[in-house]
Amino acid sequence: MDLLNTLVDKGLRRELPTREEALAVLATSDDELLEVVAAAGKVRRHWFGRRVKLNYLVNLKSGLCPEDCSYCSQRLGSKADILKYTWLKPEEASKAAAAGVAGGAKRVCLVASGRGPTDRDVERVSKTIEAIKEGNEGVEVCACLGLLSDGQAERLRSAGADAYNHNLNTSEATYGDITTTHTYADRVDTVNKAHAAGLSACSGLIAGMGESDEDLVDVVFALRELDPDSVPVNFLIPFEGTPLAQEWNLTPQRALRILAMVRFVCPDVEVRLAGGREVHLRTLQPLALHLANSIFLGDYLTSEGQAGKADLEMLADAGFEVEGAGTTTLPEHRVDAAAAGGCGTGGGCGSGDVCGTSAEAGAPAEGDAAAPGARPDLVAVRRRGAGTDLAPNA
C-alpha cells in the first residue's frame, strides 16, 4: 500500500505526515489491519527495538474531585462505587511503589485527584518522591497532580521528580463538551510549565468518547507540536455514574488503528498503551505491542488491570523484552535535546486522566440496551493496593 510505504519512510525520518495521511490510517479497513500494524511496527522497532517500558501507578488520593470531566470516575457528582481516600503518607506510597518496582516497573507514576495541587500538596508529594527514591534505587518518578501554578513544577523537579503528566485528552474544538471547569488552554499551559522546569513532559489522549476521526487527528497533531517525551493513549471505559456511560463505540481493530496513527505522527516518542487496553483490545493486546513501547503493569487508579504476571507473560510470548533500569528509553537525539534544556530523559505517565479514566464499566441502567461490543464484565473497581489493606497487583 503506497500510503503505508510513505508513512514508514516519513516515520524513519521523523517527518510529520499530512492530516490526510493520518485520517487515511483511521479509514483503513479491517482487511488491511495487519498491514497497518506491520508498517507502524517498523517505525516502532526503528526507534525502540523490541523493548517495552513498564510503569506502575500509585493513586495518592482517590475520589472527591471538584472537576466535572465527563469521562472520570472521580468527577464531581460521580456515582461510581470507587475507593475514596485522602492523601497517602509518604511511607505508604513508598511501600506501594516498591511492589511495582519489584514486578519490573522502571517508572512509578504518582497520581492525585483534584483540579491541581496547593503548595502544601506539592510539599507532601515532594516528601513522597524523596521516600520512593530513597527506598528504590534508580527508579524514575512521574507526578500527575492536575493543573500547576507558577513555581510548582520547579519544586517537584527539585524534590527528584523526573516527569510530569497532564493529558490533553481530546481536541481543542470538542474540549468544552467534555469538561467545563477548566479549559484546553489550561492543560496546554501545564504541559509547557513541565517543559520549562526541565521535567520530562508526558501528555496524551483518551479515545472512544464519541469523537470524530478529525478530532483524533487534531489532538495527536497538537501533541506532536507540544513535543512531549511520552504520549499515553487511553481508551475510555464507560461506566455507570458518568455522562459517558453509554459510549461503547470502540472495537479492538479501531483501537489498533488509533495506536498506529499515533505512532506515525509521533514516531520517536514513548507511546504508552494506557487505561482501557484490557477492555477494548482484549485478545489483540499483543498486536498493540508492535505499536506502543510502554505499558502500565497491574492495576490502574480506580480499576483493576490485567494481572501483572499475565502482563509479563504476554510480553515474553509476543517476543518483546522488558526495558531494564540501565537503558535509556528515548532515542539519542531526544536525550541530547533534554541535555540542552528541552524535554526530559524519557517516560511519563498516562493513567486515563488526572482523576482516573479507568474505572468500572457498570451495567446499563434499567430499560437501556447495552451498546454493541460493550464488555463491562471485563473490568472491576480496584479494591486492592494503595488506600486498602490488601496486597497490590504487580
Collapsing DSSP to helix, strand or coil, 209 comes out as coil
Task: Based on the residue annotation, tell me whether 266 is a catalytic residue of this protein.
Answer: no
Report how far residue 249's alpha carbon sits from residue 237's, in angstroms, rounded to the nearest whole number: 10
b/e code 218-256 from CB counts within 10 Å (16+ = b): bbbbbbbebbbbbbbbbbbbbbbbbbbbbbbbbbbbbbb
Decide: 288 and 52 in contact? Cβ < 8 Å: no
Q: How far is CA 54 from CA 41, 100, 311, 340, 349, in A?
A: 19, 9, 10, 27, 10
65 is an annotated ligand-binding site residue = yes
Task: Based on the residue annotation, tell me whether 349 is a catalytic residue of this protein.
Answer: no
Given the residues 44, 65, 187, 257, select the one marked as catalytic.
Answer: 65
272 is an annotated ligand-binding site residue = yes
- C-beta neighbour count of 188 within 10 angstroms: 17
Report how far residue 276's alpha carbon sits from residue 135's, in angstroms, rounded to the nearest whole number: 30
Task: Based on the residue annotation, tell me whether 202 is a catalytic residue of this protein.
Answer: yes
Decide: 133 and 107 in contact? Cβ < 8 Å: no
Backbone angles phi, psi at 272, to 5 degrees: -100, 125
Task: Based on the residue annotation, tell me whether 69 is a catalytic residue of this protein.
Answer: yes
Q: How far is CA 88 from CA 50, 63, 107, 113, 128, in A?
A: 36, 13, 19, 12, 9
Report how far residue 3's alpha carbon sits from residue 254's, in angstroms, rounded to the nearest whole number: 18
50 is an annotated ligand-binding site residue = no
Q: How far is CA 96 from CA 72, 124, 138, in A?
A: 23, 16, 16
Nearest to 136 by CA among 197, 185, 93, 79: 93
Given the residues 75, 272, 334, 382, select the one marked as catalytic.
Answer: 272
Report how far residue 258's alpha carbon sits from residue 22's, in angstroms, rounded to the nearest whole number: 10
Given the residues 44, 72, 107, 349, select the one marked as catalytic.
Answer: 72
Return the biggest CA–CA distance within the chain. Answer: 59
Given the residues 75, 107, 187, 202, select the one marked as catalytic.
Answer: 202
The C-alpha cell of 179 is what? Answer: 469538561
13 is an annotated ligand-binding site residue = no
349 is an annotated ligand-binding site residue = no
H or E segment to which residue 214 belongs: helix 213-226
Given the residues 109, 266, 349, 355, select the one marked as catalytic.
Answer: 109
Task: Based on the residue annotation, tell me whether 343 is a catalytic residue of this protein.
Answer: no
Given the residues 44, 107, 124, 142, select the one marked as catalytic.
Answer: 142
Task: Based on the residue annotation, tell me whether 272 is a catalytic residue of this protein.
Answer: yes
Report how far residue 175's alpha carbon sits from residue 183's, in angstroms, rounded to the nearest whole number: 7
Backbone angles phi, psi at 89, to 5 degrees: -75, 155
Active site residues: 65, 69, 72, 109, 142, 202, 272
For the annotated binding site, the residues are 65, 69, 72, 109, 142, 202, 272
Binding site per annotation, positions for [4Fe-4S] cluster: 65, 69, 72
Residues making up the annotated binding site for [2Fe-2S] cluster are 109, 142, 202, 272
